[in-house]
Amino acid sequence: MVLRKRAERRAAERAAEKLAEQRVKLFFASDGGSIDRPLVLESASLVEPRALAQPCPRCGGPLRLLSHDAVAKGASLLRAARTRCSLCASEWTSWFLVERRLPH
C-alpha cells in the first residue's frame, strides 16, 4: 500500500516535471523568449509590466525584476528584462523591441 502510494507520487512528480519542461520550451520558443524573437511593444514603459505579467515558466510562481537593460543588436536597440522566480529562483530573460508608431 505504502509502496504503491510512493510509486503514484513518483509518477505524478515525473508528469509535473515533463509539463514544466514543455512550458519552459514554449517560453523560449514564443515571442520575447529569445534575442532573435523579441516581442514588439509600442513603448518602453510596457517592458517591465509585460515581463512581470507572466508567471514563472517552470513552476508558475511570481517573477521579480532583476534588471532592465538596452542591448544593441544590429541597427535596432532591444530591451532585455531579467527576472527571477520568487518560488524556485529560476532566472529568465524576456526580449523586447520598442517600435514607436509615427504620428499621422
Interface positions with Zn ion (CB under 5 A): 56, 58-59, 61, 85, 87-88, 90
For residue 62, the minimal CB distance to Zn ion (Å) is 9
60-64, long-range: CB within 8 Å, 24+ apart, which pairs? 60/87, 61/85, 61/86, 61/87, 61/88, 62/86, 62/87, 63/92
Q: Which is nearer to Zn ion, 7 or 60 (CB)?
A: 60
For residue 22, the minimal CB distance to Zn ion (Å) is 15
Q: Which is nearer to Zn ion, 63 or 80 (CB)?
A: 63
For residue 96, the minimal CB distance to Zn ion (Å) is 21
Q: Which is nearer to Zn ion, 61 or 97 (CB)?
A: 61
* Residues 34 and 90 sit within 8 Å (Cβ to Cβ): no
Q: Could you give the 3-state DSSP secondary structure of residue 2?
A: helix
Strand order through the sheet with 91-98: 39-41, 91-98, 76-85, 63-73
Q: Which is nearer to Zn ion, 11 or 89 (CB)?
A: 89
For residue 86, the minimal CB distance to Zn ion (Å) is 8
